[in-house]
A and B are shown apart, each in its own frame.
Chain A
Amino acid sequence: MRTAVVVFPGVNCEHDVVQVIRSLGGEADLVWHRVTDLSDFDGVILPGGFAHGDALRTGAIARFSPVMGEIERLAGSGAPVLGICNGWQVLCESGLLPGAHIANRDLSFICDFVEVEVVDTGTILTRSAQPGQVLRVPLNSYEGNWVDPSGEGRVVMRYVDDPNGSQNRAAAVANGPGNVVGIMPHPERASDSLLGSTDGLVLMESFLHSLVAA
């Protein structure tokens, strides 16, 4: 079971994600965004950062990277695809998840721990969590304010408070089948007591448990 952690130019959380997966006994490799064959991988994580410098809009350039065709194929086959922070923005731009992200309601870059409540355990991000479970995970974003005029987004986790104006207080959203998920806070940064929280581990474990041999 191998996870591809995709590296776009400007991404900066890729090593943290790989480290957490390996610490949980999983296999993960960094994959450059120009790669066009992910047939050796059973799942994908798009880590956080500033892909292509967020030029034009967050995720707008990354969605046309050569690797995206393979990510669309894996998503369509039911494989787990997780976008964290900027990775979620890329998944929205690509149309794999509904909606889009705009600047936080108060125009502040939020860098703080937030509490999020698990409201849907039927997804690759939350299957090992309990309904109603509250997790303390760090948020680190300026454009975390999710907007979904279609109303089709499946909210997976909600902020307990409302830090950024995100519609339905959504902190994580899935596609219909629940195999493609975007999350704004960083579970990989809540994976060791040294980091101030281990609440992200249940989410990363959920992802690993969702991997099925391709």
Chain B
Amino acid sequence: MKVTVTIDRRPEIADPEGTTVKRALHDLGFTEAKAVRMDRVIHLDVDGEDADEVKARVEEMCRRLLANPVLEDFAVEVSR
């Protein structure tokens, strides 16, 4: 099954890269870009039949390795 994991840095944690990209957008005249956050997307192809089970396993992967609980939240989406 194809699984998409989105890892977001928590809003209260600084994102120096996002700040820099936002500044560059403003320099180019895109001043409507009020906020830029550089999140990460991880695509997995996972063995399994049951979407709920696959989702639970991938959430466990996030807790153990893929996301840092100090900085990041995650969302898991399984496409059937």
Contacts and interface: CB of A to CB of B under 8 A. Distances in A.
Contacts of B70: 92, 98-100, 147-150
Contacts of A92: 70
B13 A165 contact: no
A107 interface: yes
Contact of A147 (B14, B20, B65, B66): B14
Contacts of B66: 56
Contacts of B17: 103, 107
Report, as a range, how many residues of chain A touch the other chain: 20 to 34
A8 B78 CA distance: 34
B12 interface: yes
A145 B10 CA distance: 16
A92 B70 CA distance: 9
Interface in A75-129: 92-93, 98-100, 102-107
**Which of B14, B16, B20, B71 has the most chain A CB atoms closer than 10 A to its own CB?**
B16
A132 B35 CA distance: 40
Contacts of B12: 149
A107 B65 contact: no
Given A147-B71, A149-B70, A102 B14 contact: yes
Binding site of B, secondary structure by majority: helix, strand, loop or mixed?
loop
Contact of B71 (A98, A100, A165): A100
A102 B65 contact: no
A78 to B, nearest CB: 25
A98 B20 CA distance: 27
Interface string B20-43: 100000000000000000000000
A92 B10 CA distance: 17
A127 B20 CA distance: 40
B16 A105 contact: yes
B44 to A, nearest CB: 13
Interface string A139-165: 000000101111000000000000001
Interface of A: 56-57, 60, 64, 92-93, 98-100, 102-107, 145, 147-150, 165
26 contacts: A57-B68, A64-B65, A92-B70, A93-B68, A98-B70, A99-B70, A100-B68, A100-B70, A102-B9, A102-B15, A102-B16, A103-B16, A105-B14, A105-B16, A106-B16, A107-B16, A107-B17, A107-B20, A145-B16, A147-B13, A147-B14, A147-B71, A148-B70, A149-B10, A149-B12, A150-B70
